[in-house]
Amino acid sequence: MQESEDCVYYSSGARTKQVIQDYFKKWGIPIGKYAGPDVTHGVIKEDKKKLGTMVKDILDEAKKKGGGYSVIRSVKGKAQILAIGSNKNIYHFAETENLISVSHKISTSGMVTRVKILGEADDDKRRPVEATVDGQTKYGIRQKILTRGKDDSLDEAKKEAKEVLEDDGKPKQEIKVVAVDLPIIRKGDIIHLKMSTGSGYYWVTAITHDCDKMEMTMTLKKTKLKSSPSKKDNKKKDGDYSIGDTVNFHGGYHYVSSDATSGYKVSAGKATITHSNPGSAHPWCLENVNWAETHVCGWVDEGSFD
């Protein structure tokens, strides 16, 4: 897709899915699955751009309009547009258990703390300031300018500004891990990671599988599980337990996935239920409350806690 250039124009009101499908059809690229964003766009005008760059720009604009992150994959000769976290099994990696190396850097380079929204130009080509949206200005004023298109409302521009602050409004974390290769893990998947500098869920923004070394290198970005509601509004029940409950883990084995055949033994202690997969070999995913008490951080068997 990066070997050719093209131009595209859509009037205001076109939706992401239709634009992408039309574009792929024009170039004879079969789509196997579309499960990405589908928001309404303003005027789309792309001139003399690489095909892949053009598609990425459209998906990036959809993200700014609240459509969420998405990735492009090639599966069996067909393109797939998927939202992040489309994987059913979430694999767990721990620095002291199954990782070869971890690199974790934090930087404020490229950070945005204020977004200024400019309106349409007047006869003198001056653009009025219509709104200013502040983020974490404690890091200083790092300003980005957004120009509101004539087909976009001020509310839409403010929403885009908030998306910019959501993406770039905090110190950037560059996390790279090297682990034993799992070919099933692909870009866009969500994993669980336990490091000395913190733990949580991360989505794979880039991945390289090295068949010779039987290793994989993943670049990660912090995220949250959509299926992990808070305790107050949690409505998902499985038996007597709910996602978000704090339980007493009895000690024993935890596993990197709900269907793994081998695991790692850890001590007993308090943990929080973060995910469930009813009917699987290890249907509950736990994360320790106190690392000093127990290192449980993975999938466990039914009856292994109360």
How far CA 264 is from CA of 97, 148, 253, 261, 298, in Å, comes to 8, 54, 5, 11, 9
Residue pLDDT, tens place only, 57-94: 999 888 888 888 898 988 888 999 998 888 888 888 88
Tell how far CA 160 is from the center of its chain: 18
The answer to whether residue 200 scores a pLDDT higher than 90 is: no
pLDDT band at 237 (very low <50, low <70, confident <90, very high): very low
The pLDDT mean for the chain works out to 87
Domain boundaries, the chain: 5-83, 92-107+172-223, 114-168, 237-300
Q: Was domain 92-107+172-223 assigned CATH 2.30.300.10?
A: yes
Q: What's the pTM?
A: 0.62
Cα gap 284→49, rounded to integer Å: 47
Alpha-carbon dihedral of residues 257, 103, 164, 149, nearest 10 degrees? Answer: -100
CATH fold of the domain at 5-83: Phage tail protein beta-alpha-beta fold (3.55.50)
Average confidence (pLDDT) over 101-114: 91
Percent pLDDT > 90 in the chain is 39
Strand order in the sheet with 143-147: 129-134, 114-118, 143-147
Phi, psi of 154 (to 5 degrees): -65, -35
Residue pLDDT, tens place only, 223-233: 876 544 444 44
Q: Which amino acid is at 139?
A: Y
Average confidence (pLDDT) over 217-226: 84
**What pLDDT sits at residue 167?**
84
**What pLDDT sits at residue 197?**
75
The answer to whether residue 148 scores a pLDDT higher than 50 is: yes
